[in-house]
Every structure is written in structure tokens, then in C-alpha cells.
Structure 1
Amino acid sequence: MSMKLITAIIKPFKLEDVREALAESGITGLTVTEVKGFGRQKGHTELYRGAEYVVDFLPKVKIEVVVAEDAVETSLEAIAKAARTGKIGDGKIFVTSVEQVIRIRTGESGESAV
């Protein structure tokens, strides 16, 4: 069976909700990275010491999780539901194929290594 990498870029305050939703879906392992970026939101203007300046990159959180193909739809639904606020900047989810996974400690490979 093939594996997929799900990468979700979300609003930082939604991280715990997404983590809990994935755990309820049976997903136990994930990687989280603090990132910055922008999409249609295109940053925003802030006031600092009386001067306006443009913040080009907004703080986001990137969640990466590798799942078996049969767990993809459930995982996507869990992430989307938990991360959605209905406002601009809710983020994106990407799904890509994973060729191989190896657990460094044991040498296991494939799905048993996830």
C-alpha cells in the first residue's frame, strides 16, 4: 500500500485543535514547524512606534504527517474541519506521494516505519 505526506499550512492558534482532531482520527505522529508566508492574504499593515509598515509574511504553522493511503481522506477532513475559521488566511493542505520511509532506530521500512 502506498503512503502519502499531508502538509497543512494553518493559523498558529489552530494547531492544538488540529493535533487533537488528528489524534481522534488515529494519527499519532506529526511534525510541526513555525513558518511564515502569504497567499491571497498578502500580508497586512501594522503600526510600530508611530510608523506604518507592511508585514509581508504572516506567521503560520506547517504540520506534516505521513499516512497510509486509506487514511488520507479521514486525515484531510479532520485537518480542514479543525483548522477552518471561515476567514481569509485559513491555509492550505497539500498531499504528495511518499516513496519510502525508514525508522532509523530499528531499520523498519514502509508503513511499519510510520
Structure 2
Amino acid sequence: MKEVLAVIRMNKINQTKKALVEAGYPAFHAVKALGRGRRPVDFKYIEALNEDPEDSADALAVLAQGPRLIPKRMISLIVPDAKVSEVIQTIIKVNQTGNPGDGKIFVMPISDVIRVRTGESGETAIDEMTGK
């Protein structure tokens, strides 16, 4: 099993969630995150990237506070080893614009998963069909 952790643009979260569900990966976590890459931040660039006025206001508020950390979204999902490539391709397909700031995807090993409700462990605990 692997954890696929993706840091993406704020304005791509809904499209990414929809794509993951349609691809058969409805179980994931998404949280707000702050961060930055190697390039300096440009206010006009941030405004242009955020289609949602609320997200744009959030981005500008954070930028005005000091360190130039950009609001992002972080998605985490645990998948069997055989499904990692499909999940990565799904995320890239939705988020790739060819511009700086498209995000990063990290893949990390997971030694075990336990479903609290049933006590199931391993891949059984992340299998949607057995978790009903």
C-alpha cells in the first residue's frame, strides 16, 4: 500500500475530487495548506489562478501577512500498490496547466491500515467493497 499525497492549486480541488471519485477513488482526505515552491510569488499571478473570489481573497490575505506562502489544497489517499500509477495520472490530468505552481505529488509507503469500525487491516481496510 502507498499514500499518495498531492499538493494542488486551490481552484482545482473540486475538479480533482470529481475526477478521483469518477476514477473509483472516493476515499480521501483534503485539507487547506500553505506553502511555496522555488519561484517568487506574484500577486497578479495568484489573482489570475484563483477563479473563486473567496479563494482569491484568502490568497491575497495570506500574501499580505508576510512570508509569501501560497494557499494550496492537500489531498491524501491510501491505495494498493497496483493503483498508484492510475491515481497519479488522474491527479496530473486535472491539475497540469504547464505553469509554475501546478503542485507536487508524493508517494510514501504505508505499513498497515486499520479500519476502526470493524478492526479490518491491510488492503481489506481500504477496499471500498468490504467496508460496507
Q: TM-score range by the shorter chain?
A: 0.7 to 0.9
For residues 15 and 72 of structure 1, the distance between their equivalents in structure 2, rounded to whole angstroms, comes to 19
For residues 121 and 65 of structure 2, the distance between their equivalents in structure 1, rounded to whole angstroms, comes to 49
For residues 45 and 29 of structure 1, the distance between their equivalents in structure 2, rounded to whole angstroms, comes to 34
What is the 5 A alignment of 1:23-38? 23-38=21-36
Deviation at 1:90, TM superposition (A): 0.6
RMSD: 2.0
**Would you say the 8 A contact 1:44–1:55 is kept in 2?**
no
**35-44 or 64-73, which deviates more:** 35-44
**Would you say the 8 A contact 1:25–1:78 is kept in 2?**
yes
For residues 88 and 94 of structure 2, the distance between their equivalents in structure 1, rounded to whole angstroms, comes to 10
**% same residue:** 36
Deviation at 1:35, TM superposition (A): 0.5
Structure 1 alignment gaps of length 5 or more: none
Between structures 1 and 2, the one with greater strand share: 1
Deviation at 1:54, TM superposition (A): 5.5
Aligned residues, how many? 108
Residues 1:106 and 2:118 aligned together: yes
For residues 31 and 110 of structure 1, the distance between their equivalents in structure 2, rounded to whole angstroms, comes to 18
**Would you say the 8 A contact 1:7–1:62 is kept in 2?**
yes
Structure 1 residue ranges (4+ consecutive) displaced by more than 4 angstroms after TM superposition: 52-55
In structure 1, the partner of 2:6 is: 8
Structure 2 alignment gaps of length 5 or more: 45-59, 127-132
What TM-score results when the alignment is normalised by the length of structure 2? 0.75
Among candidates 17, 20, 23, match of residue 22 of structure 1 = 20
Between structures 1 and 2, the one with greater helix share: 2
